[in-house]
């Protein structure tokens, strides 16, 4: 009986953890975000709502790795229905990079962390598929 109870608690804890990581984020994106095309990437990274959603999406360690790559500030570009930008650690471009894409239609945030020595990590709100704009970015880095 004790083993069944422990198994139940473990199953509940793991299920709740998965639920909390994938639940819908209720914080809406800024209303004028579609006009951020051409702005510096730090506009997105310093926006309190987006910053909060990225922290939730990535988790503490991955968020630290992600932010580490933004020593360079690049412009935000609109690619289809996505706002996209990438950054790299100074003197490590092509080795340590990260990217984000914001889906303007579905209001979701996507991120990726590239390290030359490990598999690229992808993060997508609402369990959405990684957008092509991020997949192409990662593929270009892997073929260098």
Written as one string, the DSSP assignment of the chain is: -HHHHHHHHHHHHHHHHHHHHHSPP-SPPPTTGGGGTTSBTHHHHT-HHHHHHHHHHHHHHHHHHHHHTTTS--B-EEETTEEEEEEE-TT-TTTEEEEEEEETTTTEEEEEEEETTSPPEEEEGGGPPPPHHHHHHHHHHHT-
CATH numbers and ranges of domains, the chain: 25-142 (3.40.1420)
* Residue 16: predicted pLDDT: 46
pLDDT of residue 143: 81
Mind listing the pLDDT tens digit for each residue in 79-99?
999 999 999 999 999 999 999
pTM of the entire predicted model? 0.81
Given a cut of 50, whether residue 34 has pLDDT beyond it is yes
State pLDDT tens for residues 122-138: 999 999 999 999 999 99
Instruction: Specify the pLDDT at position 12.
Output: 52
């Amino acid at each position: 009986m004790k083993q069944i109870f422990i198994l139940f608690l473990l199953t509940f804890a793991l299920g709740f953890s998965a639920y909390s990581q994938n639940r819908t984020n209720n914080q809406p994106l800024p209303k004028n975000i579609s006009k951020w095309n051409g702005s510096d990437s730090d506009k997105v990274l310093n926006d309190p709502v987006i910053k909060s959603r990225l922290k939730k999406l990535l988790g503490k360690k991955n968020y630290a790795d992600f932010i580490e790559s933004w020593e360079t500030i690049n412009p935000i570009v609109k690619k289809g229905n996505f706002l996209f930008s990438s950054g790299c650690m100074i003197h490590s471009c092509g080795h340590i990079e990260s990217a984000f894409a914001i889906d303007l239609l579905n209001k979701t945030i996507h991120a990726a962390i590239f390290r030359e020595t490990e598999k690229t990590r992808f993060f997508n709100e609402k369990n959405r598929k990684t957008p092509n704009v991020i997949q192409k970015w990662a593929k270009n880095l892997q073929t260098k």
